[in-house]
Amino acid sequence: MTGQIICVGLGPGDPELMSRRAYRLVGEARHVAFFRKKGRPGQARQIVEGMLSEGAVEYPMEYPVTIEIPFTDPEYNRLLGAFYDDWATRLADLARTQDVTVLCEGDPFFYGSFMHLYTRLKGRVPLQIVPGITGMSGCWTATGQPITWGDDVLTVLMATLPEAELAARAAATDALAVMKIGRNLAKLKRALATAGRLEDAWIVSHATMSEQSVTRLVDAGDCMPYFSIVVVHGQGRRP
Amino acid sequence: MTGQIICVGLGPGDPELMSRRAYRLVGEARHVAFFRKKGRPGQARQIVEGMLSEGAVEYPMEYPVTIEIPFTDPEYNRLLGAFYDDWATRLADLARTQDVTVLCEGDPFFYGSFMHLYTRLKGRVPLQIVPGITGMSGCWTATGQPITWGDDVLTVLMATLPEAELAARAAATDALAVMKIGRNLAKLKRALATAGRLEDAWIVSHATMSEQSVTRLVDAGDCMPYFSIVVVHGQGRRP
């Protein structure tokens, strides 16, 4: 084993928000793997457009399923488990002789798909993780308001949770970031209304990119991009 | 008014984890302000050591008080409020004719001191914020374990909160990051024990820097650097 697998966090989308290390590693990479939905270019790959070295070999890792099957269906786990097993083996084989760079939008250890390869590769291959600016940081910066002050509690929720749990947790926190919006937006709006937080919520799409939009959630339609993030700012202690 | 004030998030500490934009802006800056405790170099200033342009003018903004007075004392707010008022005016005056760059470790809108200048400057001066990799991302990456999976709920807490609240919130979340440790470590340990989370907690100091230490919290002493962060990893859904 002479190679390693390096997962590079690319940040929220603006290529200039990649870390200097991520930029250097992407430019040096000879073998570049990244996740994408079938038929799509893939968010991570788009961020590094124009940065790959000549002759770099690309490995698009295409999810066998994204939202066509609910994740509660055992078939979902079976398909994705086999997909991650397969790619873990392929990347480990490559890493016998050379470094492999895996691209990840955001911060790899924060709800990232790479983690599913990571747990399969740990102990088999040398691994290196480069953290990145999270998508939610890109979003709260875009709102032009600090997210947390003083002793504020920040809660990060997935909109895939049940409505009652979303409402209870939104009511019990100072600041809030909600991800995995997609089809769950109407449910999330109801939950925030129940919690008394809807009026203070913002939804940000394509943060840090040219298509960036920042809207009060009450003014947003019910169909927003999957990568949208809802934020409610804390109002904590300040001198 | 021809200048602007640019707050640059510098990330968790390793200079190579600055964003490309942060690195560029720091290198171009002619007027560079940063917070520090009296008599200390300041974490933000240390990260950019060797990067400032020749002739850059530095403005160390020295806190009049940090932990000498409890933040519940009205005098604490009075002193800090006057300090932020004063620096907001000085930076706004400078920005009449030129750009001013303010350095911030981590991510400026996430519990950062710059927010107190930001609210005083908004509407008076053009402002730009560059997000950064958070200190907590540096910490969870250092533990070598993903922080959140699937639908995990992440809670971010300040150890300055009361023990009972820390315990209740630690018990009610999947993943946890706790900041502002310092003198609150013994209290935090008791709270995590009450919540049944102490055995799973890690404490990370100087993440991403040469002095980085990663320790199980049960094995840590009661005196750790203020900038230490405690993390408890989520164990959510995974295929």
Number of C-beta neighbours around residue B232 at 10 A: 25
Residue A24 to chain B, least CA–CA distance (Å): 9
pLDDT value of residue B1: 66
CATH of the domain at A224: 3.30.950.10
Q: Do A158 and B145 touch (CB under 8 A)?
A: no
**Closest to A157 (Cβ–Cβ): which among B71, B153, B160?**
B153
In angstroms, the CA B99 to CA A213 distance is 27
| Nearest residue on chain B to A25, alpha-carbon basis | B16
Q: Does residue A231 have a pLDDT over 90?
A: yes
Strands B5-9 and B100-104: parallel
Q: How confident is the model over A194-221, as pLDDT tens digits?
A: 999 999 999 999 999 999 999 999 999 8
Asked whether the beta carbons of B233 and B143 are under 8 A apart, the reply is yes
Clarify whether residues B82 and B164 are in a common domain.
no
Q: What percent of chain B has pLDDT over 70?
A: 99
Clarify whether residues B99 and B172 are in a common domain.
no
Clarify whether residues A14 and A122 are in a common domain.
yes
Residue A17 to chain B, least CA–CA distance (Å): 5
Average pLDDT of the residues of chain B:
95
Clarify whether residues A118 and A96 are in a common domain.
yes
Q: Does residue A69 have a pLDDT over 90?
A: no
Clarify whether residues B30 and B102 are in a common domain.
yes
What is the pLDDT confidence band of residue B223, given thresholds at 50, 70 and 90?
confident
In angstroms, the CA B40 to CA B38 distance is 6
Locate B148 and state its tokens. 């959140």
Domain boundary among B83, B109, B133: B133
Q: Does residue B99 have a pLDDT over 70?
A: yes
Domain boundary among A98, A133, A168: A133
Clarify whether residues B177 and B101 are in a common domain.
no
Q: Do A109 and B84 touch (CB under 8 A)?
A: no
Q: Do A239 and B21 touch (CB under 8 A)?
A: no
Clarify whether residues A66 and A147 are in a common domain.
no
Interface test with A, best of B133, B160, B178, B212 (most A CBs within 10 A): B133
**Closest to B116 (Cβ–Cβ): which among A77, A134, A238?**
A238
**Closest to B118 (Cβ–Cβ): which among A81, A146, A151?**
A146
Q: Does residue A155 have a pLDDT over 80?
A: yes
Record the pTM: 0.96
In angstroms, the CA A126 to CA A119 distance is 12
What is the mean predicted confidence (pLDDT) over A124-150?
Answer: 97
Q: Does residue B92 have a pLDDT over 90?
A: yes
CATH of the domain at A35: 3.40.1010.10
pLDDT value of residue B50: 98
Clarify whether residues B116 and B54 are in a common domain.
yes
Clarify whether residues A127 and A163 are in a common domain.
no
- Cα A94 to chain centroid distance, Å, stands at 25
Question: How many domains are contained in chain B?
Answer: 2
Domain boundary among A133, A155, A187: A133
Q: How confident is the model over B173-222, as pLDDT tens digits?
A: 999 999 999 889 999 999 999 999 999 999 999 999 999 999 999 999 88
Clarify whether residues A156 and A126 are in a common domain.
no
| Nearest residue on chain A to B143, alpha-carbon basis | A109
Q: Does residue A226 have a pLDDT over 90?
A: no
Full domain range(s) for residue B166? 136-232
Instruction: Give the position of tokens 């509660």.
Output: A72
Is A54 contained in some domain?
A: yes
Spatial strand order of the sheet with A127-130 comes to A57-62, A31-36, A100-104, A5-9, A127-130
Distances (CA, A) of A32 to A3, A20, B175: 13, 18, 31
Q: Does residue A1 have a pLDDT over 70?
A: no
Number of A to B CB contacts under 8 A, please give it.
Answer: 180
Q: Do A17 and B21 touch (CB under 8 A)?
A: yes
Clarify whether residues B212 and B112 are in a common domain.
no
pLDDT value of residue A59: 98
Which of these, A159, A162, A137, A161, lies nearest to A148 by C-alpha position?
Answer: A137
Average pLDDT of the residues of chain A:
95
Clarify whether residues A86 and A195 are in a common domain.
no
Q: Does residue B63 have a pLDDT over 70?
A: yes
Q: B187: which chain A residues are within 8 Å (Cβ-Cβ)?
A: none
| Nearest residue on chain B to A119, alpha-carbon basis | B145
